[in-house]
Amino acid sequence: MQQGINPWASSQTVDVGKLFSEFGIEPMENVVDRLPAVPSFMGRGIVVGHRDYGRIADAIRNRMPFNVMTGFMPSGHPHLGHLMVMKEVVWHVQQGGQGYVAIADREAHAVRGISWEKCREFGREYLACLYALGYEGKTYSQSENNPLKDLAFEAATKINFSDLQAIYGFSQETALAHAMSVATQVADILFPQADCGPAPTVVPVGIDQDPHIRLTRDVAYKLRMFLVEVRDGCISVRSKNAPEEAIDAVHRAFPGSTRYEGHVDIPGASFAPVEEAVRLIEIDHGGFGFVAPSSTYHTFMPGLQGGKMSSSVPESFISFWETEKDLKKKVMGALTGGRMTLDEQKRLGGEPEKCPVYLLNLFHMAKDDAELAEISRRCRAGELLCGTCKKETLARTQEFLRDFTERIDEAKDLVEG
């Protein structure tokens, strides 16, 4: 297993640069210019990388269909550490995407041993949070979605135990249900295309979730009937497991093409229209025609004592339902990027980029970029002292939680069951 990217680890650090170079994740700045407007989570450098996000940016700009999909594992109450993905999903829906949100109850039951009743309770809380942020789209629980279970079975035909061992470090002691929950997660990501037809689909995730994305892209590829590629200067459509009639249909669809055993060559054609036509032929012949899913990767807001915010470590996160007393204790007791003495702080300034309090503002609490820039400037200049900064951050957080929990209460009626 590649160190530092086990999606089920509760505490970890991720070397972003290494993931880019080793696993082919692209930096976000390569693609943001293709968006009509840059959301703050990209502008502030929280979402740092992507796979194939160009497709999504183009779909947004050209008002073409696309999906945004994510899943939440209901292993505890939702908290501030989940808010970034929720905001990303809601933003993409607002840009015209069809939303899909899975409550990964099978995963919570298989991996964390959470009872089905608790899964339902926590799942409803996640959905209420999403609706409170303005989410409009489809939602489901893995355990109640029969077409998803069929798709998971199909996906499982393309996953073997050596994949699970290499990607996740599965051992002989790993429960079979855990392996089944991996196939279910792969199916979650492909489900929007099975539900509504092939379309670009973005999955906003934390950078530790990349193993799921890589596995799903691989399975999506393996489930395709055809491979479309440029060979010897012409477009070649190769059968991977297509029936003869489907290969004939590709040949008929492109006058001037040549039919060979197992492939069709199309001279003088462009890649994108061929790929699209082949996809439709594939679907006509009972195939999936999946577009490889795209992804974005966000970094993590650290816990106020450092490390990752995690549902399994209560002191590491800020709950949406934190009492005033506990919230004050957590914010005022947080680590900072301040200096050892008051004199040094005034003389040298603080180091906001290393400071969990600053990052709390950067991720969620500073409403506009000018406010955030001013916190950073005052900190670096030694004008802002950590005690004052924490009090100001506490006030912003209190205001945010008051408003958000009110909206969650109002949204509870939108959650079914």
Query: Which residues of the chain form contacts with ligand SF4 (CB under 6 A)?
Result: 336-338, 350, 352, 355, 357-358, 379, 384, 386, 389-390
Is residue 209 classed as helix, strand or coil in its secondary structure? helix
Q: Which is nearer to ligand SF4, 94 or 398 (CB)?
A: 398
With respect to ligand SF4, which residue has the nearer C-beta, 232 or 368?
368
Question: Minimum distance between the CB of residue 139 and ligand SF4, rounded to whole angstroms?
Answer: 37
Give the nearest distance from C-beta 87 to ligand SF4 in angstroms. Answer: 22
Q: Which amino acid is at 94?
A: Q
- What DSSP element (H or E) covers 191? helix 176-196
- Give the nearer residue to ligand SF4 in terms of CB position, either 56 or 379: 379
- Identify which of residues 280 and 327 has a Cβ nearer to ligand SF4 in the complex: 327
In terms of CB distance, is 129 or 386 closer to ligand SF4? 386
Q: How far apart are CA 88 and CA 209, in angstroms?
A: 15
| Whole-angstrom distance, CA of residue 184 vs CA of residue 219 | 12
DSSP letter, residue 33: G
DSSP assignment, residue 316?
Answer: G
- 263 three-class SS: strand
Q: Least CB distance from residue 301 to ligand SF4, whole Å? A: 14
In whole angstroms, the minimum distance from the beta carbon of 209 to ligand SF4 comes to 28
- Give the 3-state secondary structure of residue 203: strand
Closest CA to 72 of 130, 14, 1: 130
Tell me the closest approach of the beta carbon of residue 367 to ligand SF4, in angstroms.
16
CB of 324 to ligand SF4, least distance (A): 20
Nearest approach, Cβ of residue 309 and ligand SF4 (Å): 17
Beta bridge partners of 226: 239
By CB neighbour count within 10 A (0-12 exposed, 13-18 middle, 19+ buried), where does 253 fall?
middle
**Taking Cα atoms as reference points, which of 201, 269, 261, 284 lies closest to residue 229?**
269
> In terms of DSSP H, where are the helices of 15-156?
16-23, 40-43, 53-61, 83-94, 105-112, 116-132, 146-156
Nearer to ligand SF4, 287 or 337 (CB): 337
Question: Which lies closer to ligand SF4 via its Cβ, residue 212 or residue 390?
Answer: 390
